[in-house]
Amino acid sequence: MSKLNGRNIALLGARKTEELSKIVHNLGGIPLVRSAQGTVYLNDSHLEEDVNRLIEGEFDWIILTTGMGTELLYNTAVRMEAGDRFIETLQKMKIAVRGYKTKNLLKKLGLEPTVRDDDGSMAGLVRNLEGHLSGNVKVALQLHGDPAPLLMNWLDERLIEHKEILPYEHIAPETETMTLLIQEILDGKIDAVMFTSAPQPRNLMKFARDLGVEARLINRFESDVVALAVGKVTAQVIIEEGIDRVIYPEDQRMGSAMVELVKFYQDHVTK
């Protein structure tokens, strides 16, 4: 199998960059760490208020999109000495979930979702919400700092009232790093970009739009630059952001993603 042959691979994550860099190096590539992740911080200023509104029965549905966010909601209720009331409330509500971690956490709490995704993605969740969620209902929507435009647009189009609950928020990455990354892509200095989470493609394309180079950047991904996702969920977000050619492994592992990239070059590119 051919290796990466000196290609420049941009790594956009903030975690495990040393490990990933070593994999790229061992495969004959040149790792370039360009974090587009930003930082995540806990936003608990309104969380107790959100839990209270849930317990008071204000909502008919709750959509839970991450295990971490769901756990934080429950832990907040416990801290408020209302853990049992929180679970009792959710038992009376209709619950939709995305992701196996969210589903497993609900199971630990003795709860079963009415609707869940079929593939771990927001698109899979929206597909399964069709025919279930409609009409004059109020929805509590737990997000994890990611705006989830696909899901929110679907709710808006159906005039479904929803309240966002954001246990965590993402702060944008450094402007200097993003500007450098975008310029390197446009100048042909990067051969592939590895995305390891949903905020990364959103941040990249937001900066590109702010700089007025979104169309040029997308054109680079359509021609010479390979978009590599760690898994299907991240790939779906990349596609939502306008980048159609995305490769990813089935098992959502970073090492497997790099093997997928090597296979892509072996099958499609001669350099």
Q: Is 178 in contact with 42 (CB distance < 8 Å)?
A: no
**pLDDT at site 99:** 87
Within 8 A by CB and 6+ apart from 136, the residues are: none
Q: In terms of domains, do 83 and 139 share one?
A: yes
Residue 233 is assigned to a structural domain of this protein = yes
Q: In terms of domains, do 115 and 204 share one?
A: no
Q: In terms of domains, do 177 and 158 share one?
A: no
**pLDDT at site 1:** 46
Q: Higher pLDDT residue, 39 or 111?
A: 111
Structure tokens of 126?
């929206």
Residue 2 is assigned to a structural domain of this protein = no
Neighbours of 45 (CB within 10 A): 7
Question: Span 81-94, mean pLDDT?
Answer: 96
Q: In terms of domains, do 111 and 231 share one?
A: no
Q: In terms of domains, do 66 and 186 share one?
A: no
Residue 165 is assigned to a structural domain of this protein = yes
pLDDT tens digits, 219-255: 999 999 999 999 988 998 999 999 999 999 988 788 8
H helix runs in the chain, sequence order: 17-26, 47-55, 67-79, 83-92, 100-108, 122-129, 149-157, 175-186, 199-211, 214-223, 232-240, 254-268
Q: Is 248 in contact with 229 (CB distance < 8 Å)?
A: yes
Domain count for the chain, please give it.
2
Residue 249 is assigned to a structural domain of this protein = yes
Domain end marker among 135, 170, 205: 170
Measuring CA to CA, how many Å separate 139 from each of 59, 125, 168, 233? 6, 15, 19, 23
Structure tokens of 74?
């429950």
Structure tokens of 237?
């977000």
**What DSSP line would sit under 203-241, residue for residue?**
HHHHHHHHHT-HHHHHHHHHHT-EEEESSHHHHHHHHHT
Q: In terms of domains, do 96 and 157 share one?
A: yes
Residue 1 is assigned to a structural domain of this protein = no
Question: Tokens 């790099």 sit at which residue?
Answer: 258
Q: In terms of domains, do 118 and 179 share one?
A: no
Q: Higher pLDDT residue, 167 or 97?
A: 97
Q: Which amino acid is at 126?
A: V
Domain end marker among 170, 192, 222: 170
Q: Higher pLDDT residue, 135 or 88?
A: 88
**pLDDT at site 218:** 98
Mean pLDDT of the chain: 91
Domain end marker among 170, 204, 237: 170
Q: In terms of domains, do 127 and 188 share one?
A: no
Question: Span 119-137, mean pLDDT?
Answer: 88
Q: In terms of domains, do 45 and 20 share one?
A: no
Q: Is 42 in contact with 66 (CB distance < 8 Å)?
A: no
Structure tokens of 98?
């995305």
- Domain of residue 162: give its range: 41-170
Residue 3 is assigned to a structural domain of this protein = no
Q: In terms of domains, do 49 and 162 share one?
A: yes
pLDDT for residue 55 is more than 80: yes
